[in-house]
Amino acid sequence: MDSVRTLIVGAGVTGLATAAALSDRGDDDYLILEADREIGGWCKTVKKDGFVWDYSGHFFHFKHPEIERWLVDRMPGQKIRVVKKKSFIAYKGRFIDFPFQKNIHQLPQDEFIDCLHDVYFARSSDVKADEKRAALPATNFKEMLSARFGRSICEKFLFPYNEKLYACDLATLDVDAMGRFFPYADLTDIVRNMKAPDNASYNATFTYPEGGAIEYVRAIASAVRPGAVAFEEALVAVDLERKVARTTSASRAGGSREIRFDRLVSSVPFNRFVALCGVGSDDEPSTWAWNKVLVHNFGFDGKGQRDVHWAYYPARETAFYRVGWYDNIFDADRMSLYVEIGFPRDATIDVAAMRERVLRDLEREGVVTGQRLVAEHSVVLDPAYVHITQRSLAEHRRVTAALRERGVWSIGRYGGWTYCAIEDNIVEARALVASWN
Ligand SMILES: Cc1cc2nc3c(=O)[nH]c(=O)nc-3n(C[C@H](O)[C@H](O)[C@H](O)COP(=O)(O)OP(=O)(O)OC[C@H]3O[C@@H](n4cnc5c(N)ncnc54)[C@H](O)[C@@H]3O)c2cc1C
């Protein structure tokens, strides 16, 4: 039987960052199992006919300069743009600035009055953003939105947009389901913004490498022991008592094997991982909810709209919830789009039918204005956004504590069943490795 000190599952950002952190402290006794043929997980990049597309729109906002420096130092020759973001909401045929709740004064007068009236009389509109957790009476995400922003802002944007994205009843989500990614604004912020625009949010600028998001992943991989990734080899079972993992491999002679480990770090979606460990519970389907996202990447023969990086589409009759313009990052002369559509986890997705609808909607929304489609790619991200609920939080805490006792950790966006960005994955992986003596 093979044996390894640390068995890592997944060669996405999380798995690779864990391996890099181990190598950094002189420990190369690890193996990374990766079911796919390539590194990157959901942070892969596709190149086609001169277009560079990520699996879905990935833009980067680093809060830790030392992490950004560490990555950039491993990307010699790669052009990385720092871009002041231009993001909008497509509302009834016009663009208004993002976030919606701070820019209601850009709506037609009657709608502006409705929004201002409702937000003024909303139960918690005067709660300061940093006091929101303690002060909010709400018990779920939908109630929180109503309590803070009132009916009109919710009905015009916050409900339809988030329902399209999460593809679920927002009342099932935790109050804090979006964590720091939700742009809070109190009544003072909203009124002040009418005269002195300050739409800065957690991502006022972003960085983007010319070669796409995968360049950051490659930077992490460059710090990993060569040959450490076993590609096309999937974890299929974990015996927690014996500390033995079973795998199957499409490419390795022998097909399957057993690997003994001291520690195991998994970035597999948590619901699937607990099933592989045999510690799943009967109420799993109601504990672990998520949505899928279908991404269409489209390349056209001519330029489209300028001065926009991405836009949110709350209209229920429009299939997509977000569109991004890659060509406006590097000032390319051909429109290069990503288009995102949310689906419930059980949906059967007819990609071809959705493609036709999306192309029609892009024309109706004025994104495509006669340019010819010359290249395309699509992918379904499953899971894309996990649904954070009181139940998922409690169950994740309970099961991970039990797994830790056995030398097993489940981390990352899906292993941690959370909403986060790649920098968070790197921080978490490093902190985990640093916690081992
Ligand atoms: C729509 C969308 C937009 C996003 N935008 C941004 C953004 O703008 N900026 C940003 O920083 N982040 C963004 N993110 C988040 C970012 O993609 C994730 O934080 C990151 O990719 C998570 O990496 P991970 O390694 O934790 O998981 P994953 O990328 O899911 O990697 C897990 C890996 O494990 C492998 N695996 C799974 N099961 C098995 C198994 N049984 N055996 C072996 N291997 C297995 C998979 O093949 C995969 O390679 C976005 C995510 C989504 C969905």
For the cut 80, the answer to whether the pLDDT of residue 200 exceeds it is no
Q: 32 in ligand 1 pocket by Cβ < 6 Å? A: no
- Residue 134 above 80 pLDDT? no
How does residue 201 score in pLDDT terms, banded at 50, 70 and 90? Answer: low
Question: Hey, whose CA ends up nearest to atom 26 of ligand 1?
Answer: 412
392 CB contacts (<8 Å, ≥6 apart)?
287, 288, 289, 386, 417
pLDDT interval class at 212 (50, 70, 90): very high
The average pLDDT across 252-270 equals: 93
Residue % of the chain over a pLDDT of 90:
80
Tell me which residue of 383, 410, 412 sits closest to 395, measured CA to CA. 410
What's the CA-to-centroid distance between 293 and ligand 1, angstroms? 13
Condensed to tens digits (0 to 9), the pLDDT of residues 4-14 reads 999 999 999 99
Residue nearest to atom 34 of ligand 1 (CA): 10
Alpha carbon distance 437, 425 (integer Å)? 21
- Asked if residue 53 lies in contact with residue 297, where contact means CB atoms within 8 angstroms, the answer is yes
Predicted TM-score (pTM) of this structure: 0.93
- CA–centroid distance, 315 to ligand 1, in Å, is 28
Digit-coded pLDDT (tens) for 350-403: 999 999 999 999 999 999 999 999 999 999 999 999 998 888 999 999 999 999
**Alpha carbons 412 and 317: distance in angstroms, whole number:** 34
Please give the pLDDT value at position 268.
98
pLDDT band at 423 (very low <50, low <70, confident <90, very high): very high
Of 255 and 375, the structure prediction assigns the larger pLDDT to 375
Residues 6 or more apart from 320 whose CB is under 8 A from it?
Answer: 164, 313, 339, 340, 341, 358, 361
Is there an atom of ligand 1 within 6 Å of 416 CB? no
Q: What angle do CA 204, 417, 101 make, to 5 degrees?
A: 35
Mean pLDDT of 323-352: 97
Mutate to test the pocket of ligand 1, among 58, 251, 310 (most ligand atoms within 8 A of CB): 58
